[in-house]
């Protein structure tokens, strides 16, 4: 893999950002605790930091040298925290401001992928002014049934519904609209769900082994993702080698087209009728819990959880590293 193996003692005092105020706070705390213990176990001077309880300015006051972002969802994965850390000149893990903000919005992500010629399911965006009965009822005529309804700026399957009939549309849209003023309706791809993680940046980015997911009848929802052992994960995926290589190729192209760096994870569906892969979303701050997919894939590539955390931390950076700043006026202190 392209990330170097650093000396933990050279990484300085490290803040692991966890918790926050998003709907994914509970999962973020789980991820953050896992990362925290892993970094400490590798000799890193790491400490928990919850932005919901302390202002980010305290990072400077408390002498932190860099930040591991284990926040999920709004306020932590959408460019907001990344922008604040840029202003503080505090290197952080993962993608920068622009990539984080685009990837958090599934509609914007799809627009980029479509411009790049990458496959993603057909979709309809319902803006806040479109959430009336006639418009909602027309969506299945455009996308067919079943279809998926979701808030475009949430993660962890929060607010997601599978709609099998016209009568279910209103309830699904109401649920999604409770989390987001816009609603994303998406063509349902009948087939196999897979995920593919990426480590690195630009031409040095490399895809990890593909993970194939087999969920119970209830689906790969929030509860099954994090709180049950009903989901089966296969890595190696058991797919034909050529199919796995193609998924990795598409994922790398999707990652680079969005300007991601550090790490990320794409979720895809493989259509059963013709084996065609479709990109669903790109996660720029993936989960790091005991059930999470990036550590699982990294382990299959020979990278233990603790080593993964240290490598990601060592790759922490800024969008600009102070370059492009306005020159100091003559005579200024």
Each residue's pLDDT tens digit, 296-318: 999 999 999 999 999 999 999 99
Contact in structure between 169 and 105 (CB atoms under 8 Å): no
Whether 226 is catalytic? yes
Separation of alpha carbons 294 and 305, rounded Å: 9
Residues 170 and 285 in one domain: no
Residues 195 and 183 in one domain: no
CA angle in degrees (0–180, nearest 5) for 297-299-305: 110
Whether 94 is catalytic? no
Query: Could you say which of 86, 105, 186, 267 is catalytic?
Result: 267
Assign 141 to helix, strand or coil. Answer: helix
Prediction pTM value: 0.90
Which portions of the chain are predicted below pLDDT 70? 1-5, 156, 216-229, 321-333
Whether 275 is catalytic? no
Whether 255 is catalytic? no
Separation of alpha carbons 227 and 291, rounded Å: 8
Residue 291: per-residue pLDDT: 79
Query: Could you say which of 28, 95, 100, 156 is catalytic?
Result: 156
Which domain does 280 fall in, by range?
102-119+190-314
Chain-wide mean pLDDT for the chain? 91
Query: Could you say which of 287, 292, 297, 306 is catalytic?
Result: 287
Separation of alpha carbons 282 and 99, rounded Å: 10
Residues 201 and 295 in one domain: yes
* Count of other CB atoms within 10 angstroms of residue 107: 16
Residue 228: per-residue pLDDT: 52
- 133 contacts: CB under 8 Å, gap ≥ 6: 170
Query: Could you say which of 283, 285, 292, 297 is catalytic?
Result: 283
Contact in structure between 174 and 133 (CB atoms under 8 Å): no
Separation of alpha carbons 277 and 195, rounded Å: 11
Query: Could you say which of 22, 24, 297, 319 is catalytic?
Result: 24
Contact in structure between 174 and 203 (CB atoms under 8 Å): no
Separation of alpha carbons 129 and 123, rounded Å: 17
Query: Could you say which of 86, 180, 193, 281 is catalytic?
Result: 281
Q: What's the total number of domains in the chain?
A: 3
Residues 47 and 129 in one domain: no
Residues 248 and 166 in one domain: no
For the chain, what is the largest distance between any 2 Cα atoms, rounded to a whole number of angstroms? 71
CATH number where 174 lies: 3.30.1490.20
Residues 114 and 208 in one domain: yes
Q: Concatenated DSSP letters for 249-274?
A: HHHHHHHHHTT--SEEEEEEEEETTT
Whether 217 is catalytic? no
| pLDDT tens column, 221-270 | 445 444 456 789 999 999 999 999 999 999 999 999 999 999 999 999 99
Query: Could you say which of 226, 244, 262, 311 is catalytic?
Result: 226
Residues 270 and 209 in one domain: yes
Residues 41 and 170 in one domain: no
Whether 156 is catalytic? yes
Residues 109 and 199 in one domain: yes
Query: Could you say which of 74, 261, 265, 311 is catalytic?
Result: 265
Domain stop point among 172, 187, 202: 187
* Count of other CB atoms within 10 angstroms of residue 253: 16
Q: Quote the strand ranges of the chain, DSSP E.
A: 13-17, 45-49, 66-69, 123-126, 147-150, 161-163, 183-187, 191-199, 206-207, 211-214, 232-234, 263-271, 277-283
Q: Quote the strand ranges of 57-127, DSSP E.
A: 66-69, 123-126
CATH number where 305 lies: 3.30.470.20
Residues 107 and 213 in one domain: yes
Per the domain annotation, does 108 fall within a domain?
Answer: yes
CA of 79: how far to CAs of 73, 110, 213, 314, in Å? Answer: 10, 18, 29, 20
Whether 299 is catalytic? no
CATH number where 50 lies: 3.40.50.20
Whether 144 is catalytic? no
């Amino acid at each position: 893999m392209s990330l170097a193996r650093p000396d933990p003692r050279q990484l300085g005092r490290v803040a692991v950002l966890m918790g926050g105020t998003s709907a994914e706070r509970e999962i973020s705390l789980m991820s953050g605790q896992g990362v925290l213990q892993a970094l400490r176990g590798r000799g890193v001077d790491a400490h928990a930091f919850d932005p919901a309880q302390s202002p980010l300015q305290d990072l400077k006051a408390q002498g932190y040298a860099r930040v591991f972002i284990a926040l999920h969802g709004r306020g932590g994965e959408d460019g907001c925290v990344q922008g604040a850390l840029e202003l503080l000149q505090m290197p952080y893990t993962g993608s920068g401001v622009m990539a984080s903000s685009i990837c958090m919005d599934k509609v914007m992500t799809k627009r980029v992928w479509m411009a790049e010629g990458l496959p993603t399911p057909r979709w309809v965006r319902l803006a806040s002014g479109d959430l009336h009965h006639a418009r909602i009822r027309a969506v299945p005529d455009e996308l067919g049934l079943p279809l998926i309804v979701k808030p475009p700026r949430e993660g962890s399957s929060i607010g997601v519904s599978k709609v099998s009939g016209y009568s279910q549309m209103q309830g699904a849209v109401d649920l999604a609209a409770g989390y987001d003023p816009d609603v994303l309706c998406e063509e349902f791809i009948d087939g196999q769900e897979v995920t593919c993680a990426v480590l690195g940046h630009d031409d040095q980015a490399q895809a990890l082994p593909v993970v194939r997911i087999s969920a119970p009848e209830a689906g790969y929802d929030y509860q099954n993702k994090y709180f049950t052992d009903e989901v089966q994960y296969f890595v190696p995926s058991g797919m034909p080698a050529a199919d796995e290589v193609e998924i990795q190729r598409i994922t790398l192209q999707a990652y680079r087209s969005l300007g991601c760096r550090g790490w990320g994870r794409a979720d895809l569906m493989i259509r059963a009728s013709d084996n065609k892969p479709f990109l669903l979303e790109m996660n720029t701050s993936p989960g790091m819990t005991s059930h999470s997919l990036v550590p699982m894939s990294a382990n299959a590539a020979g990278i233990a959880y603790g080593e993964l955390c240290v490598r990601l931390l060592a790759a922490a950076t800024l969008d600009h590293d102070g370059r492009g700043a306005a020159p100091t006026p003559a005579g200024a202190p």
